[in-house]
Chains A and B, each alone.
Chain A
Amino acid sequence: MFAKAPSHSTALGPGCAGPPLANPQQLSSAQASAHERGSHQPSCGAAPFAVDASMLRSTGSQPHKHTQSPYVTGSSVLAITYAGGVMLASDTLASYGSTKRYKSVQRLVKVNDSTVLGAGGEISDLQFILNMLDDLKTEDYCADDGQSLSSQELYSYLSRVMYNRRNKMDPLWNSLIIAGLEGGKPFLGSVNMIGVAFSDDHLATGFGNHLARPLFRKRHRPDMSEEEATALIREALEVCYYRDKQSINKFQIAKVTASEGVSISEPFALPTKWEYKAFVDPTRNAVGVW
């Protein structure tokens, strides 16, 4: 068969941009050797996951460089299930270090008709992930059989990609939440930069894990109405906004429901109140101050 143009480096595996194989006879050319014993290249899996050791070695006098730290980052993403749908929320900030550099970056993205991806962490890595997901979508479109990847399948795919990249010591520096409807039931899955993946009724990434999830644990029910869910999400956003300095008051909420599919709101601001005593004089009553 004609080798399909891979979306990622055949040498480094899924999610790895990089040079092609140093020794292509061994691993590519599905055309010539697809049926020789042991050399079959599946359409997914083996080819993108195979590693060409020579590509991992340093090139010339320069060492092989990997992402050591993120540069432009997004903060928390929050997600909850409710009766008949899922809801995600995040702000639209991309920080450059501590600088609030880009204030209108959409971090909730529609992946297909039943799935939304929410991402924190390095924004360029997010864009790279979105390119890969776009390739998957194109494959579905080209197959023209009316089938597309479900949110659970995308969650599985992304967890493989993230884990694969961390094993290359070159992680994609993101925390991801995949949300959608799986057979009519709400589904939430979370994958982080080292490939830890789990699914739950409510999820949050980054600071949201510490600030929003306690609220969710207390208040979330799977049978919440959409109004209740919106109220809970807005409250959690407010809590995150007050306490996370790497956030701005410009949020988006995404929903996936059976009736309306994916909808992502326009950015909006929450009413805030900064006159609380603890905000006005944060060190009052603290130990060791006067």
Chain B
Amino acid sequence: MFRNQYDTDVVTWSPQGRIHQVEYAMEAVKQGSTAVALKSNTHVVLATLNRADSELTSSLQKIFKVDDHLGIAASGLISDGRSLCKFMRSECLNHRYVYESAMPVTRLVREVADNAQVCTQRSWKRPYGVGLLVAGHDKSGPRLFYCCPSGNYYEYLAHAIGGRSQAARTYLERKHEEYPDASLDGLIGHALQALSASLAEGELTATSCNIAYVGRDQDFKELDEASLQPYIQALRDAEGGDGGGGADGAAPMES
């Protein structure tokens, strides 16, 4: 980004009609590691990439369960993500207390976005530096949203955020027609394909990524390393099968 006299706070417009601080916040999302999400007619899958800085550390947790019917994947400033996650958990819990039912995903996403918007209009605040992929299942079916630091939110069939996510998005766009009717295994396969497309170097392993899903009659669940391994193996097999391109390995577990 380029320094200029209109970017010192969030309440100053540039003559071009831009709020630079908000745009910087959206850039912060791209500093994070890749997070991928896609949905079928029954399920939503979240996938994130782990980037351990040292062999002696664990990697940051980027997938959070918010409620039985809902979870998020964060990219960017994960500490901001945790704060938003706490907010979302509190909202869902209170909805369950008052109405004894799961909070509609649209309503929760709107509350989060309203929160983010306030930070774009107050001189003493800073916008969130985190992008959230919100995956949930409610009365209206599976829903997938992207919450942006600008206070905008978008509904997606499939989306990827974070560093090098363009490659993942390219994969997702190429295959999107298969998602609505895909099985859960198929969706996970697609998510891993998209994730591996965004890898800078090396191969995807069960330790270098995380998968979580939610769907009809399926509470939000994050896969542990052992249960992730077969999917990774299927991805390898598919890549080996068609010369490493991975393009035809759309649903490796369905065979």
Kindly state whether residue A150 has any CB partner on chain B within 8 Å.
yes
Contacts of B83 on A, CB cut-off 8 Å?
35
Indicate if B110 sits at the interface (CB-CB under 8 A). yes
CB of A31 within 8 A of chain B?
Answer: yes
Known interface pairs A1-B118, A45-B95. Does A40 touch B101 (Cβ–Cβ under 8 Å)?
no
Q: Verify A42–B115 contact, CB threshold 8 A.
A: no
Chain A residues with CB under 8 Å of B106's CB are 143, 145, 147
CB distance from A241 to the nearest CB of B (A): 36
> Is B104's CB under 8 angstroms from A1's CB?
no
Q: A143–B107 contact, CB under 8 A? A: yes
The CA of A145 and the CA of B105, in the complex, are separated in Å by 10
| Chain A residues near B107 (CB-CB < 8 A) | 143, 145, 147
Stretch at the interface among B42-50, B86-94, B177-185, B195-203: B86-94
Residues of B within 8 A of A156 (CB): 98-101
Once the chains bind, are B104 and A147 in contact (CB under 8 Å)?
yes
* Residues of chain A with a CB closer than 8 A to B117's CB: 1
Task: Give CA–CA (A156, B95) in the complex, Å.
Answer: 11
In the bound assembly, the distance between CA atoms of A63 and B86 in angstroms comes to 41
Q: Could you tell me if A34 and B90 are in contact, using CB atoms closer than 8 angstroms?
A: no
* Closest Cβ–Cβ distance, residue A189 to chain B (whole Å): 11
CA distance A1 to B151 in the complex (A): 11
- Check if B110 sits within 8 Å of A143, measured CB to CB: yes
B111 within 8 A of A: yes
**Are A152 and B118 in contact, CB atoms less than 8 angstroms apart?**
no
Which residues, 1 to 19 on A, are CB-close (under 8 Å) to B?
1-2
B73-95 toward A: CB 8 Å interface, digit per residue (1/0)?
00000000001001100110111
Question: Does the CB pair A40–B100 fall under 8 Å?
Answer: no
Given A31-B118, A34-B115, is A40 in contact with B95 using a C-beta cutoff of 8 Å? no
Closest CB in chain A relative to B39 CB, distance in Å? 17
Cβ contact within 8 Å between B98 and A44: yes
Q: How many A-B residue pairs have CB under 8 A?
A: 64
Indicate if the CB atoms of A150 and B98 lie closer than 8 Å. Answer: no
User: In the assembly, what is the distance between CA of A35 and CA of B104, in Å?
Assistant: 22
**A7 to B201 CA separation, bound complex (whole angstroms):** 56
Contacting residues, chain B, for A147 (C-beta < 8 A): 104, 106-107, 139-140
Q: Check B248 for interface membership: any CB of A closer than 8 A.
A: no
Could you tell me which residues of chain A, from 22 to 74, have a CB within 8 Å of some CB in chain B? Answer: 31, 34-35, 40, 42-46
Tell me whether B114 is interfacial, beta carbon within 8 Å.
yes
Known contacts A1-B115, A147-B139: A157-B98 contact under CB 8 Å: yes
CB distance from A242 to the nearest CB of B (A): 39
B154 CB-CB contact with A under 8 Å: no
Report the minimal beta-carbon distance from A160 to chain B, rounded to whole angstroms: 6
A35 and B87 in contact, given A1-B118, A147-B140 (Cβ under 8 angstroms): yes
Interface string of B149-166 (1 = CB under 8 A from A): 000000000000000000
Q: Give CA–CA (A2, B114) in the complex, Å.
A: 9
**Does A135 reach chain B (CB closer than 8 Å)?**
no
The answer to the question of B2 belonging to the interface, with a C-beta cut-off of 8 Å to chain A, is: no
CB distance from A156 to the nearest CB of B (A): 4
Tell whether, in the assembled complex, residue B87 and residue A43 are in contact, meaning their CB atoms are under 8 Å apart: no
In whole Å, how far is B70's beta carbon from the nearest beta carbon of chain A?
15
- Give bound CA distance, A49 to B153, whole Å: 30
Given A31-B118, A143-B110, A147-B139, A45:B98 Cβ within 8 A: yes
Contact call B114/A1, Cβ cutoff below 8 A = yes
A45 touches B94 (CB 8 A): yes
List the A residue with the shortest CB-CB distance to B100: A156
* Per-residue contact bits, chain B 209-230, to A (CB 8 Å; 1 contact, 0 not): 0000000000000000000000
Task: Determine if B104 and A145 form an interchain contact, defined as CB atoms under 8 angstroms apart.
Answer: yes
A2, B111: Cα distance in complex, Å: 11
Q: A1-B115, A35-B83 are in contact. Are A40 and B90 (CB under 8 A)?
A: yes
Fill in one digit per residue for B117-154: 1 if any A CB lies within 8 Å of its CB, else 0: 11000000000000000000001100000000000000
A224 at the interface (CB under 8 A from B): no
Interface contact B86-A40, CB-CB below 8 Å:
yes
Which 3 residue pairs across A and B have the least CB separation, nearest first? A45-B94, A42-B94, A156-B100
The 21 sampled A-B contact pairs (Cβ below 8 Å) are: A1-B111, A1-B114, A1-B117, A34-B87, A34-B115, A34-B118, A35-B83, A40-B87, A42-B90, A42-B91, A42-B95, A43-B91, A43-B94, A44-B91, A44-B99, A45-B95, A145-B107, A147-B107, A153-B100, A156-B99, A157-B98
